[in-house]
Amino acid sequence: MSAPPTIARVGLTGLLVSFGSAMSEPANRAALAFRTAVEAEDWPEVSETMMSLVSVFVAVDLVTAPAEEIEARLREVLARQDWYAAELPSGRTLWHVPTVYGTDLAPQLEEAAEVAGLDPDEAIRQLSTARVRVLTLGFAPGQPYLGELPEVWNIPRQQGLTKSVPRGALVTAIRQLIIFTGPTPTGWRHVGQTAFRNFNQQAEVPFALSPGDELVFPAIDRAAFDKLSAPNSYGAAEREVIA
């Protein structure tokens, strides 16, 4: 059962519509669909919107726009449908991102497999065929939180931090994957390496991904990875539109 959505004030800068107090697939889907609906309303008071894992931030200058009035409008949109049962929006992008699993490029694949109770080959089979969705972007520009992996991947963060993993690293914890935007210290385990670029400020569209996009990470070998050229500004990846 999903709790009813709540609306709260965020300082003087907007309102937060929250669909849960913990990450869940229906709450994330609700936030994705609700944000799309609020964007479509195109209210002049709303300067931007963003979704985090289970909520939607609606940026409004509460110094000049009354919070009650914006809240009433948001409630009206909330009442239109059961957002937890919302369909995923169409027109999203499916990305195929070639990935090297393990090797010196991604040295924690075996450790992660062991924590998950899988042998390394099975771990690679599962990770390279899982189709995951961008649950939210954040922490660094364009950086996706991807999920959800099968329950067996509900593994904790490691106790210590890895000092730095490179740009394009594929890391995992708590049934999620992240592709890192830049070199990052992390408690997540480095299981794969991609040539993907989340963010390229020189590109016409600087951010590759949007919330709701889906990704798969097919396995390639080390030799193929070394030969990868970057056919477009986001690094080696192919994409197709999800109808």
Partner 1 sequence: MSGALTILSAGPALSLQDLGRRGYLAKGLTRGGAADLRALHEGAALLGQAPDCAAIEMMGMGGTFEADVDTVIALTGAEMAATLDGAPLIWNASHALSAGAKLVIAGVRAGTYGYLHVAGGFDTPPEMGARSAHLTAGIGALLQASDSLPIEASHARPGLFLTPEGRLSGGVIRMVLSFQSALFSDATRARFGETVFRRDPRANRQGVRLDMAGDGFHAEGGLSIVSEVITPGDIQVTGDGAPYVLMCESQTTGGYPRIGTVLPCDLPKVAQAPAGAELRFQVVSLEEAIAAETRARAEIKALPSRIARLVRDPHDIADLLSYQLISGAVSAAADPFATTGEQP
Binding site for partner 1 (CB under 8 A): 8-14, 16, 18, 20-23, 35, 47-55, 57, 59, 62-63, 67, 136-143, 181-182, 199, 201, 206-207, 210-211
In the complex, the smallest distance separating the C-beta of residue 10 from partner 1, rounded to whole angstroms, is: 6
d(CA 173, CA 69): 40
8 A C-beta contact, residue 215 and residue 131: yes
- The 3-class secondary structure across 170-190, one letter per residue, is EEEECCEEEECCCCEEECCEE
Closer CB to partner 1, 153 or 199, in the complex: 199
Q: What is the largest CA-CA distance in the chain?
A: 59
In the complex, the smallest distance separating the C-beta of residue 85 from partner 1, rounded to whole angstroms, is: 21
In the complex, the smallest distance separating the C-beta of residue 15 from partner 1, rounded to whole angstroms, is: 9
Looking only at the bridges linking them, the beta strands covering 92-96 and 214-216 are parallel
Closer CB to partner 1, 43 or 225, in the complex: 43
d(CA 17, CA 123): 37
Closer CB to partner 1, 62 or 94, in the complex: 62
In the complex, the smallest distance separating the C-beta of residue 187 from partner 1, rounded to whole angstroms, is: 12
Closer CB to partner 1, 108 or 200, in the complex: 200
